[in-house]
Amino acid sequence: MIAANATVFDVSLPLSPDLCVWHGGPAIQVDPASWISAGSVANVSRLTCASHTGTHVDAPWHFVDDGKKLDQISPQRWSGRCWVVAFADDVIRIEPDRLDDAGIPDGTERLILKTSNSRFWNQHPLRITDGYVGLSPEAVQWVIERGIGLVGSGYLSIDSYQGPGHLTHLVLLGNEILILEGLTLSEVTPGAYVLLCLRLRLTVGDGAPARALPARP
């Protein structure tokens, strides 16, 4: 799928206790289960986190109670050709007219949204930030009409800040459009890529942490 001479970008957030989590979510914990220095034969860590921690995927069942669960979705849907589109830093919400003007090619199957959200991952310490850029529910209709099957976001939620009722999630997932959230896209330029998205093979059906690797020749 990815050529041997391709340039591969790791757009996944590093998982550690320093990484911020969504409002009310459990903090990431990495605790020693056994340490060689304490007399054990191997170093083993115990990882505790939510299924929607860091870079992660959303299955329809996340917001749609009769929607498909993670293990009902083919792995091929998460990976393949994708298009990265960049928006100016003054865009605070992605509306249909922004998508019209973005030069997204016909036939795009997976769409990655690069916005000013990228700057938030340079904060120290990392924290959940108000005012991040999201996709409006009206723009979701644009996505549906063009047959796009996956949308990726550079923040922990694809909904717009203060968007009512998680409508963007509801409409995307209600139409079986997959969501990839928590991408760090500052080093990625707009254009065509091949996306390798490997989510944990959890039997829990709502979502899972993932490693996302777009590549281009």
**Chain segment 74-114, per-residue pLDDT in tens:** 999 999 999 999 999 999 999 999 999 999 999 999 999 99
Domains and CATH numbers, the chain: 7-13+52-216 (3.50.30.50)
Q: Is the confidence at residue 165, as pLDDT, over 90?
A: no
| Phi, psi of 100, rounded to the nearest 5 degrees | -60, -40
* This prediction's pTM: 0.95
Confirm whether 23 is a catalytic residue: no
Q: Single out the catalytic residue among 23, 52, 56, 62.
A: 62
Radius of gyration of the chain (CA): 18
* Residue 140: per-residue pLDDT: 97
- Per-residue pLDDT reduced to its tens digit, 39-49: 999 999 999 99
Reading the block at residue 96, the tokens are: 């249909």
Cα–Cα distance for residue pair 23/125, rounded to 1 Å: 16
- Is residue 47 within 8 A of residue 74, CB to CB? The reply is no
- Per-residue pLDDT reduced to its tens digit, 58-72: 999 999 999 999 999
DSSP for residue 181? E
* Residue 1: per-residue pLDDT: 66
